[in-house]
Amino acid sequence: MDFIEINQIRCYGYTGFLPQEQVLGQWFEVNLRLGVDLGTCSQSDRIEDTLDYRQTIARVKELVQGAKFSLIERLAGAIADAVLESPQVQQANVRVTKLAPPIPDFGGRITIELNREVR
């Protein structure tokens, strides 16, 4: 399996369990590792023969910015479902990070990682 990695898609979104997270929002970062067959495009040099990652980035941003899920796990699942809709993508590793979760006395980040495959 070949892979395309798309890293550090940063956007402001409204997913979160606490009411203020869905009103005030917060920053998220999304990293993708997508299993695709790059055999044809590595020979043809044609964008039509590969995944157009501009569209993938736009779809991820649309989901993060527009969704109001309670759980970051649900957001990660929605992103995985969306990228697997592309016929070129056979596998998806999705990492969604809350860059500044509203947890008292915690300065770290929370990351959810999902692995999904076309069945």
Active-site residue, 61 included: no
Q: What is the pLDDT of residue 4?
A: 97
Which residue type is seen at 110? I
pLDDT at 50: 93
Chain mean pLDDT for the chain: 95
Decide if 33 contacts 93 (C-beta within 8 A). yes
Choice among 50, 88, 98, 116 that is catalytic: 98
The model carries a pTM of: 0.94
70 contacts 14 by C-beta, under 8 angstroms: no
**d(Cα 37, Cα 14) in Å, to the nearest integer?**
34
Q: Could you state, in order of their start, the residue ranges of all structural domains in the chain?
A: 2-117
Tokens encoding 81: 């479902």
- What is the mean pLDDT of the segment spanning 54-81? 97
**In the predicted model, is pLDDT for residue 13 greater than 90?**
yes
Fold of 2-117: GTP Cyclohydrolase I, domain 2 (3.30.1130)
